[in-house]
Amino acid sequence: MDELRDAAQATEAHIAVHWKEEEYYWPPAKFIAQANAGDPGILERFSEKHFPECFKEYADLLTWDTYWHTTLDTSNPPFWKWFVGGTLNASYNCVDRHLARNRNKAAFIWVPEPEDESTAVITYQELFARVNEFAALLRDFCKVKAGDRVTFHLPMVPDLPVAMLACARLGVIHSEVFGGFSGFACGDRIVDSGSHILVTMDAYYRNGDLLDHKVKADQAVEYAREHGVTVDKVLVWRRLPGKYSSPTPMVEGRDFFVDDLLKDYRGARVEPTSMPAEAPLFLMYTSGTTAKPKGCQHSTGGYLAYVAGTSKYYQDIHPEDTYWCFADIGWITGHSYIVYGPLALGATSVIYEGVPTYPDPGRSWRIAERLGVNIFHTAPTTIRMLRKAGPDEPKKYNYHFKHMTTVGEPIEPEVWRWYYDVVGKGEAVIVDTWWQTENGGFLGSSLPALQAMKPGSCGPGVLGVYPVILDEEGNEIPAGSGKAGNICIRNPWPGIFQTIWGRPERFVETYYAKYCTNTESKDWQDWPYFAGDGATHAADGYFRILGRVDDVINVAGHRLGTKELESAALTVDEVAESAAVPVVDELRGRTVEMYVALKPGRDSSAETEAKVSYAIETIIGKIARPKNVWIVPDMPKTRSGKIMRRVIASISNFTDVGDVATLANPEIVESIRRKVQAEKVARGDLPKALSAQELEEIQRFGRVE
Ligand code: PRX
C-alpha cells in the first residue's frame, strides 16, 4: 500500500503547479475578411452604457407581428421581461419568412447513421409543409392549444425539429427529453410539465444497432399514470418508412403512427399564432442540487432574438454556409444552435443521427467532406474521443472549416491545440462557448474575428453580457488576481430563462438569492445571476471556467445531479446510504463513482453492485451508468451526519483526502481508501496526474450545499 501512497503523493506534487497562461491565437485574415462581426464598433455598441437598448440589434433580426415598446421591464425582479409589447411567432420566423427567397434551400440535411442510407435534404418549402401538417395534427387530433405542454422523447431525426416548430406555430410549449434518457426520466418530466401528449419514435440507430425506443414510452406513460398524470395519446414516428421496428406492442386507442395520421392532414396549413414575446416557447429540464430536475422555461421573443444574434456573430453563420452542430437536439445546445438560431437566420443546419466514430474514426470527416461543412460545433468529449480513435484521420479528408466551436465542458489546452491544428488544419477560428441550459445562449466566448483565442479560456463575456467573479461574501475578485470564485452575470440578457416551471421560489433561491443585497430593489444591478460555476478572471479579461460549485457532475458534457444518482441508488432494497462523486476521465471529462453503505445484515456482493448500476441506468439513463460502485461499511461523515463527498472524491481520484481528524468517524477513511485504491490498481485503473483545475474541483466537491 505504500506504493499507493507514493503514487498519490507523486500526483499531488505534479498538481502543485501554478496556473499557466496560454498564448493567444489570432483569427486568420481570411476569416476576418468575411466575418459578420468584423467591425470593432460592435464592442462599443454592446458596452454597458448602451445596455439594455443594445439588444435591439438582436431583436431586429426577427420579424415581429407587433413591434415591442419596452426593451427590458425590471418591475418584478428577477422575473425579467424582454421586448415587452411585442408579438411574434417562432415557427414563422424560422420557416415561413424564408420561403419567398429561399424555398429551395436546405433547411436541414439529415445524415442517418447507417452509411448506406441516403442523406435527406429538407428544403425550407418542405419543412414548411411538414411543420404545418404536424401542427394541424396536434391541433385537430390531439386538441392542444397555446400554453399546453407536449413532451417529446425523440432521437436525432428531422421529425424532432418538425415537432418543435409545429408546437411553436400553435404557441404550444414543447418539452423535449433527451432520447438517451430512460422511460422513467421521461415520465418524471411528463408529470412535472403536466403533458398529456407524448411524441416518440419506435427505434433509432446508435453505434450500428437499431435500438427499441418505444419501450420507453410505455414506461413513461405508466410512471406518469402512477403519479397522477394521464397521457392521452402517444404519437409514434417510424424510423424506417412504413415498418414498425419495435417489439413493444402499440396500445389500441392510445398509440398512433404519425405517418398514418398525417395522411389526413396532407396539404393542411395552420396560421401561425402570434404570441407575446414573453410567452414560453419551451421547457428544457436540467439537473441541480436536488433530486428533482428543473424545467427551465424559455421565452419566445427574448430567446429567439438571443439565439439569432449569437448564431450570427459568434457562430458566424452566413446564408451560404453549411453549418454542423454535433450536439443532441435533446439538450439546450441543439435547441439553440441546431434548430432555432440557425433557422432564424435561414441557414443550412446538418443533423447527424449517430455516434461520431461509427463505423470508423473517419466518419465525421467524411460527412464534413461530402456536405462541404464549413462551420463545425462540438463538445470536448467528442473531440477527445475523435482524437483517441483517429488522431490523423482529419488529414485524409478534403474538408475546410472556417469556424469551430467547443461547448459544454472545460477543454484542456492540449486537446484544444489538436482541435485547432488537426481538425481545423490551422485554418479555422475556434470559439470556446461557456453557458448553461438556463441561459438560452452563449455567455462567455471570444468574438471570433475581433478577439484572440486563448486555449482553455472561454474568453470575455459575450456582447451585452457582463460577468464578474464574486467570493462567498459577495466581494468582487479582481481580474488578474489568479483567485478562483463564483462566476456571476451582473445583468439580465434576452436569452435568460424566465423561471423554473411551476417553482418560482426555487428559481429565485437557486440563481439570485445568494448575491442579491436588496430583495426590494427593482434595479437589475442588485440582482447578479449566480451561475453555479467556479472560474478565474485573467488580467486580459478572459474567464477560465473551472467547473460546477454545486452538486452536479458534468459527464461527457451532460449534467447529472448527485442527488438524482443517489436517490436512484437508494431504490435498491439493500442500500441504506449512497454518495455519488466525480472521477477525472481521459475521454469523458468526468465519470461517476457510487459509494453505498448497506442496511445491516445485507450481503455486499457483486450482485448488489450490479443492482445499483442497473437502478441508475434504468431510472436516469445509460449516460449515468457509474464507472464503479463501491460498497463500504460506512460513509465518512461530519459530526452533524453530513456525508463528506469531497473525501471520497479524493479517494476515487487518488488525491490527498486532507484533514479528516474532525470527522465523526475518521478511521473509516483509511479503510475505504485501502480497499478502493487497491482494487483500482488491481484493475489497472491507475491514478491520473490531475491538472490544477481538476484538483481544484475534486477538493471542492460537495462543499456547497
Ligand atoms: O459547468 C459549466 C459547463 O457546463 C455547465 C452547463 O451544463 P448544461 O446546462 O448541460 O449546458 C451545456 C451546454 C451549454 C456549466 O455550468 N460548461 C458549459 N460550457 C462550458 C462549460 N465549462 C467550461 N467551458 C465551457 N465552454
Strand partners, 34: none
Residue 655 backbone dihedrals phi, psi, to 5 degrees:
-110, 170
Q: Which residues line ligand 1 (CB under 6 A)?
A: 286, 332-333, 407-410, 432-437, 458, 532-533, 545, 547-548, 554, 559
Pocket test for ligand 1, best of 545, 555, 590, 694 (most atoms within 8 A of CB): 545
Cell numbers representing residue 134 in the block: 404536424
Select the more confidently predicted residue: 372 or 642: 372
Separation CA 166–CA 176 (nearest Å) = 13
Query: Burial letters for 145-178: b for 16+ Cβ neighbours within 10 Å, e otherwise?
Result: eeebbbbbbbbbbbbbbbbbbbbbbbbbbbbbbb
Backbone angles phi, psi at 694, to 5 degrees: -65, -40
Instruction: Identify the residue whose C-alpha is closest to ligand 1 atom 11.
Output: 436
Measure 440 CA to ligand 1 centroid, in angstroms.
Answer: 12
Give 200's strand partners: 153, 236
d(CA 318, CA 316): 6
Tell me which H or E stretch contains 678: helix 667-682
Query: What grid cell was written down for 547?
Result: 467547473
Q: Which residue's alpha carbon is at the smallest distance from atom 23 of ligand 1?
A: 410
Residue whose CA is at the smallest distance from ligand 1 atom 25: 434
Expressed in angstroms and rounded, the spacing between residue 630 Cα and the centre of ligand 1 is: 28
Residue 140 predicted with pLDDT over 60: yes
pLDDT in tens, 119-138: 999 999 999 999 999 999 99
Give dist(CA 631, CA 304) in Å, integer.
Answer: 48
Average pLDDT over residues 312-333: 97
What residues are paired with 72 via a beta bridge?
82
477: confidence class by pLDDT, cuts 50, 70, 90: very high
Which atom from ligand 1 is nearest to the alpha carbon of 331? 10
**Alpha carbon separation from 337 to 110, 168, 340, 552 (Å, rounded):** 15, 16, 6, 24
Q: Which pLDDT score is estimated for 17?
A: 34
Percent of the chain with pLDDT over 70: 97
Measured from the Cα of 407, ligand 1's closest atom is 26
Of the two residues 8 and 640, the one the predictor is more confident about is 640
Residues 416 and 430 sit within 8 Å (Cβ to Cβ)? yes
Residue with cell 409589447: 85
Ligand 1, atom nearest to 548 Cα? 1
Least confident of 208-217, 236-245, 651-660: 651-660
Q: Which of 294, 436, 623 to mutate to test the pocket of ligand 1 (most atoms within 8 A of CB)?
A: 436
DSSP per-residue codes, 282-318? EEEEE--SSSSPEEEEEESHHHHHHHHHHHHHTS---
Omega before 582 within 30 of 0, i.e. cis: no
389-416: average pLDDT? 95
C-alpha 344: how far from its chain's center? 20
* Ligand 1, atom 14: closest residue by C-alpha: 436
Distances (CA, A) of 232 to 93, 295, 388, 512: 31, 22, 46, 38
In terms of phi and psi (left: phi > 0; alpha: psi -120 to 50; beta: otherwise), the region of 223 is alpha
Taking only the tens place, the pLDDT of each residue in 624-633 is: 999 999 999 9
What distance in Å separates the CA atoms of residue 583 and residue 316, rounded to the nearest whole number? 36
pLDDT of residue 641: 83
Q: 436 CA distance to ligand 1 centroid (A)?
A: 5
pLDDT beyond 60 at 371: yes
Q: How far apart are the CA of 559 and the centre of ligand 1, in A?
A: 8
Task: Write out pLDDT tens, residues 284-312.
Answer: 999 887 778 999 999 999 999 999 999 99
Residue 220: how many other CB atoms lie within 10 Å: 29
299, amino acid identity = S
* Cβ–Cβ under 8 Å, residues 237 and 261: no
Our separate counts of H helices and E strands in the chain read 23, 30
Looking at residue 703, its pLDDT comes to 61
Distance from Cα 557 to the centre of ligand 1, integer Å: 7
For residue 592, pLDDT beyond 90 = yes
